[in-house]
């Protein structure tokens, strides 16, 4: 069935370009073996596929000259697909060459439907000679040196590694243990030697400041900040239920809270010569990671200059997480922690800092991590029309009970727990919880940092970087057989969460912060049955 579909589509697509018809040999891995009858019939209609040299493929490496790629024994003209690639024009990195090293990096491609799409663009075979050459260059797994992870993590993607803890464990501790802190890697974890590690600070008139790890630790006072990080895609799975989006299917736990220790970015920039009078053209501070793809392109992002240099911005060049060296998955030896700002700007394995007039030009700053209207689709989206996500909006979720759980009628009440957080240093001031789907509401008890000294006083205005855990006990409504438990939080700018998911749905599934809902059954006691 798949085969028939492929041939049909392939013919339709290819004809206008190449004016020939052919079907694949079994050596071409995208096509399953033919049934005898199908094969005979297909062969009648088609001639032998053309064969291209690697040099011919290499020469098609731009939208102007056409974009050709190879995968195993086959050659593809993907020129028309470039605009439709979910990962944006990063696909052009493979133009004129082999897909294998990129797919090894972005393992999301290892799915049958990706091969189906690719097959529509097939135009011929790679010459036997070039194929042999290519196969002799063994593709090594760039993820082979990734660290071991805690088995309790729920893995959304293995390569690059993306995983979240079970929600009910998440809300057990105000400070998330590093081992279960959600992991969101875009690329393989780089192995960095702390002795030879150097951080470069560029873009200022005085030239480049280069710091060793030791210098970063000794030349600048150590600051500690307890800050919550959240992935822009946290709770994406709820958007997927409305309509399919592109991205990892995160649950509610792509958010965690840690105490970070390191040098103040402000101090380092001033040491590198920055001052309000020195770089008046500067608007952004870019960060570049040491994690790189096969072409050598590093992960990158930027934040507005005023966040980076403000004393109240509390931006750290962190070398400690929860009192220990940063773990490999969290950016060892140095990462940026930009409190109140989406996880994607908290660049890990930090290699370069660049003070600049422009935002980072990286894919992740320009063509990803932006929000759009629910009516915007992949045909109409203009990434330039939306600002890069920086501060995140008010958020909360229920960690216990979990969706589909049951409570006993005899318990007469249900205890609901969760987290709440807002971006930009806005403090969560209230969480409302409903057990009847939002008709009536109770105010939850907010829990602070649990020092044993009671709830700490509010942080200074605009510097509430850490989440609040919360809890409320609600009586079971006598008539109800099922509870729809809902939570919504309010920050000190009195921003509230939207009621429902569809009106905030967006094609990348980011910024999913509607009221969180779980359905819980009430189990009648056996003695009463």
Instruction: Indicate whether 104 belongs to the interface with its own copies (CB under 8 A).
Output: no
Alpha helix stretches (DSSP H) within 19-142: 36-45, 54-58, 100-105, 112-119, 128-136
Instruction: Indicate whether 247 belongs to the interface with its own copies (CB under 8 A).
Output: no
Dump the DSSP string for 225-258: EEEEEE-TTTTHHHHHHHS--SS----S-SEEEE
* Cβ atoms 110, 76 nearer than 8 A: no
Q: Which stretch binds its own copies (CB under 8 A): 79-87, 261-269, 353-361, 438-446?
A: 438-446
In the complex, least distance from residue 162 CB atom to its own copies, rounded to whole angstroms: 22
Nearer to its own copies, 57 or 392 (CB): 392
Interactions with its own copies, residue window 15-74 (CB under 8 A): none
| β-sheet with 298-304: strand ranges across | 209-212, 198-202, 350-356, 284-292, 298-304
Strands 51-52 and 284-292: unpaired
Tell me which of 187, 394, 414, 489 binds its own copies, using CB under 8 A.
394
Nearer to its own copies, 192 or 336 (CB): 336
Beta strand spans in 158-221 (E):
162-164, 183-184, 198-202, 209-212
Instruction: Indicate whether 445 belongs to the interface with its own copies (CB under 8 A).
Output: no
Is 109 part of the annotated catalytic residue set? yes
Instruction: Indicate whether 440 belongs to the interface with its own copies (CB under 8 A).
Output: yes
Active-site entry in 21, 109, 200, 409: 109
Tell me which of 374, 448, 471, 484 binds its own copies, using CB under 8 A.
374
Cα-based angle 311, 314, 320 (whole degrees, multiple of 5):
140
Tell me which of 147, 194, 205, 503 binds its own copies, using CB under 8 A.
503
* Cβ atoms 64, 100 nearer than 8 A: no
Q: Which stretch binds its own copies (CB under 8 A): 115-123, 322-330, 382-390, 396-404?
A: 382-390
Helix (H, G, I), strand (E, B) or coil at 60: coil
Q: Distances in Å between the alpha carbon of 424 and those of 102, 278, 312, 313, 493? A: 36, 27, 11, 9, 10
Active-site entry in 71, 121, 332, 369: 369
Q: Distances in Å between the alpha carbon of 523 and those of 272, 406, 481? A: 64, 6, 8
Is 369 part of the annotated catalytic residue set? yes
Is 174 part of the annotated catalytic residue set? no
Is 363 part of the annotated catalytic residue set? no
Handedness of CA 360, 363, 368, 372 (dihedral sign): positive
User: Prior bond to 333 cis, omega within 30?
Assistant: yes
Interactions with its own copies, residue window 460-489 (CB under 8 A): 460-462, 488
Instruction: Indicate whether 500 belongs to the interface with its own copies (CB under 8 A).
Output: yes
In the complex, least distance from residue 386 CB atom to its own copies, rounded to whole angstroms: 7
Longest dimension (CA), the chain: 83
In the complex, least distance from residue 422 CB atom to its own copies, rounded to whole angstroms: 9
Instruction: Indicate whether 493 belongs to the interface with its own copies (CB under 8 A).
Output: yes
Instruction: Indicate whether 101 belongs to the interface with its own copies (CB under 8 A).
Output: no
Q: For binding to its own copies (CB under 8 A), which residues are involved? A: 304, 306-307, 312, 371, 373-376, 386-387, 389-394, 423-424, 429-430, 432, 438, 440-443, 460-462, 488, 490, 492-500, 503-504, 511, 513
Catalytic residues: 85, 109, 184, 231, 369
């Amino acid at each position: 069935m798949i085969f028939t579909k492929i041939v049909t589509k392939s013919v339709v697509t290819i004809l206008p370009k190449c004016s020939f018809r052919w079907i694949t040999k079994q050596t071409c891995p995208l096509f399953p073996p033919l049934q005898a009858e199908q094969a005979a019939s297909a062969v009648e209609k088609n001639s032998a596929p053309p064969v291209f040299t690697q040099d011919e493929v290499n020469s098609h490496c731009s939208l102007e000259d056409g974009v050709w790629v190879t995968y195993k024994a086959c050659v593809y003209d993907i020129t028309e697909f470039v605009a439709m690639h979910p990962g944006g024009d990063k696909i052009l990195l493979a133009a004129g060459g082999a897909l294998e090293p990129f797919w090894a990096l972005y393992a999301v491609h290892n799915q049958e439907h990706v091969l189906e799409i690719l097959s529509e663009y097939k135009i011929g075979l790679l010459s036997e000679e070039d194929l042999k050459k290519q196969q002799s260059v063994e593709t090594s797994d760039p993820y082979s040196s990734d660290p071991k992870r805690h088995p309790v993590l729920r893995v959304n993607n293995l390569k690059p590694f993306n995983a979240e803890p079970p929600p009910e464990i998440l809300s057990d501790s105000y400070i998330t243990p590093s081992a279960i802190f959600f992991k969101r890697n875009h690329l393989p974890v780089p192995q960095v030697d702390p002795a030879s590690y150097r951080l470069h600070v560029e873009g200022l008139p005085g030239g480049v400041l280069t710091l060793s790890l030791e210098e970063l630790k000794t030349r600048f006072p150590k600051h500690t900040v307890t800050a919550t990080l959240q992935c822009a895609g946290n709770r994406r799975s709820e958007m997927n239920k409305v309509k399919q989006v592109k991205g990892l299917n995160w649950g509610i736990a792509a958010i965690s809270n840690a105490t970070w220790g390191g040098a103040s970015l402000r101090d380092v920039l001033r040491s590198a010569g920055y001052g309000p009078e020195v770089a008046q053209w500067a608007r952004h501070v870019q960060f570049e990671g040491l994690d790189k793809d096969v072409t050598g392109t590093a992960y990158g992002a930027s934040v507005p200059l005023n966040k980076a240099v403000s004393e109240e911005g509390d931006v750290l060049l962190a070398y400690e997480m929860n009192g220990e060296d940063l773990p490999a998955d969290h950016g060892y030896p140095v990462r940026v922690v930009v409190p109140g700002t989406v996880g994607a700007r908290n660049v890990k394995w930090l290699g370069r800092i660049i003070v600049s007039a422009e935002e980072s030009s990286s894919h992740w700053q320009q063509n990803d991590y932006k929000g759009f209207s629910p009516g915007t689709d992949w045909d109409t989206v203009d990434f330039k029309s939306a600002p890069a996500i920086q501060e995140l909006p008010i958020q909360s979720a229920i960690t216990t009970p979990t969706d589909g759980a049951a409570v006993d009628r005899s318990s007469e009440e249900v205890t609901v727990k969760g987290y709440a957080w807002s971006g930009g240093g806005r403090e969560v001031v209230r969480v409302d919880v409903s057990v009847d789907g939002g008709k009536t509401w109770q105010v939850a008890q907010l829990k602070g940092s649990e020092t044993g000294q009671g709830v700490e006083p509010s942080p200074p205005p605009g510097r509430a970087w850490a989440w609040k855990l919360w809890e409320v006990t609600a009586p079971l409504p006598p008539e109800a057989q099922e509870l729809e438990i809902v939570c919504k939080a309010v920050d000190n700018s009195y921003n509230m969460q939207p009621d429902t998911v569809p009106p905030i749905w967006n094609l990348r599934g980011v910024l999913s912060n509607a009221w969180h809902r779980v359905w819980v059954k009430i189990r009648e006691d056996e003695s009463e049955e």
